[in-house]
Every structure is written in C-alpha cells, then in structure tokens.
Structure 1
C-alpha cells in the first residue's frame, strides 16, 4: 500500500507543478479544457485509491 501512495503523491506533485509551468509558459484556451479533464480524472483516481486504502485497513 505504501508503494502505491508514493506513486500517487509523486504524480500529484509532478502534475501540479507541471500544470503551473504549462499555464505560465504556453497558455491556450483549448488546452485549458484538456488540463481540466486530466485534473478531474486524477481526482477520480485519487478518490478510488483512497477508498481502497481505507477498505484494506
């Protein structure tokens, strides 16, 4: 379980920092929608793994 959390947390940090850099450097309204979709997918993945982790405990 701990290994999964390391991957999830690293992915959040990378995507968060990458998202900030991306918005600052290359701002494109069409791309903005894609980023929002990716963030929603990420949130769903986090909540799923969170509920799985809670069930395992």
Structure 2
C-alpha cells in the first residue's frame, strides 16, 4: 500500500514541476484547456484512491 502512495506523490510532484516549466517556457493558450482537463482527471484519481485507502483501513 505504501508503494502506491509513493508513486502517486511522485507523480503529483513531477506533474506540478512540469506544469510550472511548461507555463514558463512554452506556454500555449490552446493547450491550457487540455492541461486543466488532465489536472481534473488527476484530482479524481487521487480522491478515488484516497477513499479506497480509507476504506481498506
């Protein structure tokens, strides 16, 4: 179970840093919506896995 959390947390950090670099260096307004959709999907995955983890305990 801890292994899953390590993957989730590292993925969040990588996406966060990647998003900062992307917005600073090669910002493209047309792809802004795509990035927001990906962030929403990631948030849904995190909340689902969080609720699953709470139920397993």
Give, in whole Å, the separation in 2 of the partners of 1:49 and 1:17. Answer: 22
In structure 2, C-alpha distance between the alignment counterparts of 1:43 and 1:2, rounded to whole Å: 19
The alignment covers a number of residue pairs equal to 57
In structure 2, what is the equivalent of residue 3 of structure 1?
A: 3
SS class of match (1:6)? helix
Q: Gapped runs of 5+ residues in structure 2?
A: none
Q: Output the TM-score relative to the length of structure 2.
A: 0.97
The alignment status of 1:39 with 2:31, answered yes or no, reads no
Residues 12-34 of structure 1, C-alpha deviation per residue, up to 9 Å, x if partnerless? 00000000000000111111111
Q: Which SS does the other structure have where 1:27 is aligned?
A: coil
Q: CA RMSD in A?
A: 0.4
Q: CA deviation at 1:36?
A: 0.3
The whole-number CA distance in structure 2 between the counterparts of 1:5 and 1:35 is 23
